[in-house]
Amino acid sequence: DAKTTQPTSMDCAEGRAANLPCNHSTISGNEYVYWYRQIHSQGPQYIIHGLKNNETNEMASLIITEDRKSSTLILPHATLRDTAVYYCIVRVARDDKIIFGKGTRLHILP
């Protein structure tokens, strides 16, 4: 079973920051937090991952709480192309199997 809890769906206005929360209260010390997204009928796309420090790349920022029991993915300026299902995942090894939950369906509104 997935070790994360995410809201089923969220809306965000185009141009605004989209903040997607994820709870992972049973995360172990050696588990990373990964985020993927899946645009309709495509394969999942890797976004970002982190262990305990906040991370930023060209796509998004990842904020992990100090106790590591929750995190937030931030898309700074959402566009219509960011409409997708976003999956928050915790896993140990980088080539270990990925256990997906149901994710958050993010709708970007024009």
Partner 1 sequence: DAGVTQSPTHLIKTRGQQVTLRCSPKSGHDTVSWYQQALGQGPQFIFQYYEEEERQRGNFPDRFSGHQFPNYSSELNVNALLLGDSALYLCASSLSGSQETQYFGPGTRLLVL
Residues in the site for partner 1, rule: CB under 8 A? 2, 34, 41-46, 49, 85, 87, 94-103
Please, which residue, 43 or 110, has the CB nearer to partner 1?
A: 43
Please, which residue, 58 or 95, has the CB nearer to partner 1?
A: 95
Please, which residue, 41 or 53, has the CB nearer to partner 1?
A: 41
Please, which residue, 58 or 66, has the CB nearer to partner 1?
A: 58
Task: Give me the least distance between CB of 63 and partner 1, in Å please.
Answer: 19
Task: Give me the least distance between CB of 42 and partner 1, in Å please.
Answer: 6
Residue 3 contacts residue 24 (beta carbons within 8 Å): yes
CA–CA separation, 2 and 109 (whole Å): 29
CA 49, 55, 59, 60 dihedral sign is positive
CA angle 78, 66, 12 (to 5 degrees): 15
Task: Give me the least distance between CB of 33 and partner 1, in Å please.
Answer: 12
From the CB of residue 10, how many other CB atoms can be counted at a distance below 10 Å? 16
CA–CA separation, 102 and 110 (whole Å): 25
Task: Give me the least distance between CB of 25 and partner 1, in Å please.
Answer: 19
